[in-house]
Amino acid sequence: MQERYQAAQRVAKAAGKLALDHLSSMQAGELEIEVKGLQDFVTHADRDVENFIKRELSALFPGDGYWGEESERARGKNGLTWVIDPIDGTANFIRGIDQWGISIALVSGERVEIGVIYDPMRDILYHCRHGQGAMQNGQTMPQLNSGNTRPADALIILGQSRRIGFDVYLNTLKYLHEQEVEHRRFGSAALGLAQAAEGLVDAYFEADLNPWDCLAGLLLIEECGGVVVSGQQMLKDLSNYPVAAGKVCLRQELTHLVGLSGR
C-alpha cells in the first residue's frame, strides 16, 4: 500500500502540471469546452488529465480498477479501485478562477485506503493513508480543534447540485441563517473538504455528491480528527449521497443539514 501511496502523490503533482499547461492553452483560446449538462462542463484538459492519471497508475499497478469522472468504471482483479476526479471545479478552471484541484482516492472494499488532493494553483498537496494521519506538503497536518466552536462562530463551505431541488438549497441557507452560521460557496468539493481538514473552515456540506468529488477529502477529514456525518455510505455502491463533514462540535448542525436533503 505504501508504494501506491507514494505513487499517487507523484502522479497527482504531475497531473497538476499537465492541467496547468492546458490552462495556459485555454487562456490562449486553444482549449475546446463542451457542455455535458446545465452548468456542467468538460474540456480536453479533463479527459487528458484523467487518461494521464490512469495510464501512470495502471502501468505500476495493472491489477487495480479505475473509475474516473470522465470514463466508465473498469473493475480490477484485486479489489482495489482508484476513484479519480481529474479537475474538480471545471467551471472555475475554464474561467480562470483558482478554485479547482485534482482528487485521487484508493478504495478497498468499503474503506478508503489512500486520499490525495492537489491544488496546483497554490502547489499544495494534501495526502493521507487510512489510520496514519494526514500530511500537507510533507508536513503533518494538526488535528482539528475539538473545542466547542459555537455555530455563531462557524464557517461552512457549501456545494449545490442541480440534481437536487433548489428548495433543498434554500432550506439549507435558511437553517444556517437561523443558527447564525456563516457560509461560502467556492465550486470545488475536493478543495472545500481539504480546507475543512486544514481548519481554514469548520465544515463542508453538499446535498448530493459523486464519489470522485469527495472520497479523498472525507478520508482527509477523518485523519485530521474530524467527523464524517454523511458520505461513507457511498462506499457500499459508489453512488451519490449527501456529504457532511468537519469539526466534531458541529455534528448536530451537520446532521440537521443532511436531514434537510431528504436522503
Q: What are 248-259's pLDDT values in tens digits? A: 999 999 999 999
Q: Does 75 lie in the same domain as 173?
A: no
Q: Does 160 lie in the same domain as 111?
A: no
146 is a domain residue:
no
Q: How confident is the model at residue 147 (pLDDT cuts 50, 70, 90)?
A: low
- For residues 21-30, give the mean pLDDT: 74
- For residues 122-127, give the mean pLDDT: 98
Final residue belonging to a domain, choices 91, 115, 140 = 140
**Is the model's pLDDT at 40 over the cut of 90?**
no
Q: What is the pLDDT of residues 179-234, one digit of tens each?
A: 999 999 999 999 999 999 999 999 999 999 999 999 999 999 999 999 999 999 99
Q: Does 242 lie in the same domain as 128?
A: no
Final residue belonging to a domain, choices 94, 113, 140 = 140
Residues within the annotated binding site?
A: 69, 85, 87-88, 213
Q: Does 163 lie in the same domain as 100?
A: no
**Is the model's pLDDT at 53 over the cut of 70?**
yes
Residue 31: what pLDDT?
58
Number of domains within the chain: 2
User: Residue 195's domain spans which residues?
Assistant: 151-260
What cell numbers appear for 213 in the block?
468529488
pTM for the structure as a whole = 0.93
Q: How confident is the model at residue 37 (pLDDT cuts 50, 70, 90)?
A: very low
**Is the model's pLDDT at 55 over the cut of 70?**
yes
Q: Does 67 lie in the same domain as 30?
A: yes
- 156 versus 22: the higher-pLDDT residue is 156
**Is the model's pLDDT at 41 over the cut of 50?**
no
Q: Which residues of 78-114 are buried (b: 16+ CB within 10 A; e: fewer)?
A: eebbbbbbbbbbbebbbeeebbbbbbbbbbeeeebbb
**Is the model's pLDDT at 153 over the cut of 60?**
yes
192 is a domain residue:
yes
**Is the model's pLDDT at 32 over the cut of 50?**
yes
242 is a domain residue:
yes
CATH number at residue 58: 3.30.540.10
Q: What is the pLDDT of residues 212-227, one digit of tens each?
A: 999 999 999 999 999 9
Q: What is the mean pLDDT of the chain?
A: 91
Question: 62-71, 75-84, 119-128 — which one is most confidently predicted on average?
Answer: 119-128
**Is the model's pLDDT at 13 over the cut of 50?**
yes
128 is a domain residue:
yes
Q: What is the pLDDT of residues 93-104, one digit of tens each?
A: 988 999 999 999
Strands 155-158 and 182-184: parallel
145 is a domain residue:
no
Residues within the annotated binding site for Mg(2+)?
A: 69, 85, 87-88, 213
